[in-house]
A and B are shown apart, each in its own frame.
Chain A
Amino acid sequence: NAGVTQTPKFQVLKTGQSMTLQCAQDMNHNSMYWYRQDPGMGLRLIYYSASEGTTDKGEVPNGYNVSRLNKREFSLRLESAAPSQTSVYFCASSEPGNQPQHFGDGTRLSIL
């Protein structure tokens, strides 16, 4: 039972570099999400995809882009990384309604 798989688990970037975080789920969920977690801030939604072919901004979308490649995969791209984007990034998936979101193990990203 893989659930939600995120790659890579760790990454160090230099300011201005670009990078794509990958996420795949095998639970046939329609909805997928990207969050960032910073100390003392809880989880904040960056982007989400309610279903294949749709994406929408969350609370903190600036500096990020997303692609819902197919039902399984939802990637997050940093076009020009900034130190303020140093964070732990979580991908999640769920069905709508009262179903819980299932999370990947996170990607710890440091930008120097």
Chain B
Amino acid sequence: AQKITQTQPGMFVQEKEAVTLDCTYDTSDPSYGLFWYKQPSSGEMIFLIYQGSYDQQNATEGRYSLNFQKARKSANLVISASQLGDSAMYFCAMREFNSGYSTLTFGKGTMLLVSP
């Protein structure tokens, strides 16, 4: 079974609107972390936001917030007030902290296009 599932291959949003990118995960480890990365067309991987499984509040970083629903095993990225520069591929990733040495497992990504 896939550990990270991103069901939206592509999303479209108009500039200044909010958009939610979906991410569901599968783990039996009670201690884990969820990461979101942005990959613009130039190719680099940019870290956006982190949520730990024991964090009581949803993470926020500027226009990015994480809608963390632990019981549903979802960690959706919310981008408020979209900008043209937000057009990129977005990856959700998970690290399980009790599984030996833990590495990141990535989802397949969601391509976001922001239109004027």
Contact = CB atoms under 8 A, between A and B. Distances in A.
Contact of A103 (B45, B50, B95, B108): B45
B43 A88 contact: yes
A90 B45 contact: yes
Chain B contact residues, majority secondary structure = strand
B108 A40 contact: yes
Interface size class of A (residues with CB under 8 A): 20 to 34
Interface residues of B, number: 23
A98 interface: yes
Contacts of B4: 42
A100 B4 CA distance: 17
A74 interface: no
Contact of A33 (B37, B44, B103): B103
A98 B33 contact: yes
Interface of B: 4, 33, 35, 37, 43-45, 47, 50, 52, 91, 93, 95, 97, 101-109
7 contacts: A43-B106, A44-B106, A48-B101, A88-B43, A98-B95, A100-B50, A101-B104
